[in-house]
Amino acid sequence: MTERKATEWMLLPLKRYAEFSGRSPRAEYWWFFLFSILASIPAGIIDAIIGTQIIGGLLSLGLIIPSLAVGARRLHDLDRTGWWMLAPLAVILPTIAGAGLFGGLGAIGGLLGSSGAAGAGVGGAVVILGLGGVIGIGLSLMLLVWYCTRGTSGPNKYGPDPLAPAENPTLYY
């Protein structure tokens, strides 16, 4: 394993900006996560002082690609596809659409004079939002556990073990 300082782990995903292939160990993922939080604090303070959200927005825009890339590489280290990152989103978006549909149909029923339809529409929307929220939270917790789990030992289909000693390690700094 190549020993790195915390600051090197924090900046490594920026050097591997849009690299979605390969593997990333827990240290790379979590140090970059901390870096993102620490960078957002002064951005938020500056935004509060000048009365806009431009600095925080630009920071978020600049960090979205490396965040997705390091997340995908982290899942690759567990021998899982990076598409798992979209699992909560794949549940939450249809949930919102379904709740909007039920709520809209209930509103139309209410406008047409059917109080039962309005109540059913609102009730259906609440049930869909609750169920989708629980499933989305469950998937998010599953991802959190995966991000905290040590990667597979040895090479896997996504590349060599980033923690294994290598004859010619790839250094990004």
pLDDT tens digits for range 101-114: 877 777 776 667 66
Residue 171 lies in a domain: no
93 and 70 in a common domain: no
**Count of structural domains within the chain:** 2
Position of tokens 């209410």? 110
Is the whole model's pTM more than 0.75, yes or no?
yes
Range of the domain at 60: 1-78+152-164
- Which of the 8 DSSP states describes residue 162? T
pLDDT digits (tens, 9 = 90+) for 77-131: 999 999 999 999 899 888 888 888 877 777 776 667 666 655 666 677 778 888 8
Q: 158 and 144 in one domain? A: no
In a domain, 172, yes or no: no
Instruction: State the Cα–Cα distance between residues 173 and 170, nearest whole angstrom.
Output: 9
Q: What is the Cα–Cα distance from 7 to 53, expressed in whole angstroms? A: 27
